[in-house]
Amino acid sequence: MKALFIGGTGTISSAITKQLVESGCELYLLNRGTRNADLPAGVHSIKADINNEAQVAELIADLSFDVVADFIAFKPEQLERDYRLFKGKTKQFMFISSASAYQTPFSDYRITEGTPLSNPYWEYSRNKIACEEYLTKQYREQGFPITIVRPSHTYDERSIPLGVHGNNGSWQVARRMLENKPVIIHGDGTSLWTMTHNSDFAKGFIGLMGNIHAIGESIHITSDESVTWNQIYEIIADALGVKLNAVHVASEFLAASSKYDFRGGLLGDKANSVVFDNAKLKRLVPEFAATTRLDQGIKQTVAHILANPEHQKVDEEFDLWCDKVVNALAAAEKALAE
């Protein structure tokens, strides 16, 4: 198989890249080259900014592919560019959308690919929906061979997956745990969530590559494991070897903050209970199984981050914001008790 990835070094795509190279795929990555230092041997690099359409068209003029996948497209105009670049050059075009595009709030906590797409809380999700609509139109009217993939919360060894964190990632929350500071959990922590290790996501994605039954289809790829947010934070604290000091804060209260955009990330996504039905993926890729249990994956992630200081990005601004929220709640409780 000959494939081209636009991106290829992110949380989701890096595991796919690694597994494809190990399987002998002829893989090209088209990106700016800023994160290519750790690429496995055998990957062909096309160094370019995908937004420079003329340059990319020139670089791929003599190339064609079995699969082209865009991991970094977020708006319809970026897919319009991809269509111009790759029409007639690929047997399958794969777009990475998002499970946050599904109906929010949900009419049923069980999510299938037939769940309506609608998210009034998050512009990111609405843009992904618009991207899907554009590609579906090209498939129906022009025969452009699309496959739409919807990941949910996918993680790797470089960042601890969380519900509430600042702009510098998740390390500051882990640091608060290590310092026995209160850690914010949105809501009462009992809503169900699904987290998928990127190595498991890669198995499902690779099974869809070159799969004639996936053309024209939309498929989500997630673990079958459901956990509460309380369990998630307890797992993280356990991996760090500390006792969790949790403070539960209403998602609506957090979303009212002008400091961080929790309206989209919480009300439009993580504050809702979701259980994914992966039956469609398993029909298309019968061998698929997510085998990394969350507690096992989190332990691997925490160990990697503790051993690699470059992943420990301090976020003092977020730390102070957490203290402010916790103190505001404590003051409110005191006032009610008087």
* 98 has a pLDDT exceeding 80: yes
Asked whether residue 164 is assigned to any structural domain, the reply reads no
pTM of the shown model: 0.95
Claim to verify: residue 41 and residue 189 sit in the same structural domain? no
Q: How far apart are the first and last CA of the chain?
A: 70
Q: Calculate mean pLDDT across residues 142-155.
A: 98
* pLDDT of the residue at 253: 93
* pLDDT of the residue at 144: 98
Contact 79, 95 (CB under 8 A): yes
Residue 84 CB partners (closer than 8 Å, separation 6+)? 53
Asked whether residue 231 is assigned to any structural domain, the reply reads yes
* 246 has a pLDDT exceeding 90: yes
C-alpha to C-alpha distance for 90 and 128, rounded to whole angstroms: 22
Asked whether residue 184 is assigned to any structural domain, the reply reads yes
Contact 180, 242 (CB under 8 A): yes
Split into its structural domains, the chain has a count of 2
* pLDDT of the residue at 40: 82
Structure tokens at 241: 């070897």
At 100, the pLDDT band (50, 70, 90 cuts) reads very high
Claim to verify: residue 190 and residue 206 sit in the same structural domain? no
Helix ranges restricted to H, the chain: 11-22, 53-59, 76-86, 123-142, 171-178, 198-208, 229-240, 251-255, 262, 279-284, 294-307, 316-337
Claim to verify: residue 149 and residue 120 sit in the same structural domain? yes
Asked whether residue 288 is assigned to any structural domain, the reply reads no
Claim to verify: residue 100 and residue 176 sit in the same structural domain? no
* pLDDT of the residue at 33: 76
Domain with 234, as residue range(s), is 171-194+226-272+293-337
Claim to verify: residue 124 and residue 214 sit in the same structural domain? yes
Give the CATH number, domain containing residue 21.
3.40.50.720
Claim to verify: residue 206 and residue 255 sit in the same structural domain? no
Claim to verify: residue 73 and residue 150 sit in the same structural domain? yes
Claim to verify: residue 241 and residue 115 sit in the same structural domain? no
Claim to verify: residue 143 and residue 236 sit in the same structural domain? no
Claim to verify: residue 215 and residue 185 sit in the same structural domain? no
Residue-wise pLDDT for 317-332, tens only, equals 999 999 999 999 999 9
Claim to verify: residue 201 and residue 264 sit in the same structural domain? no
Claim to verify: residue 190 and residue 202 sit in the same structural domain? no
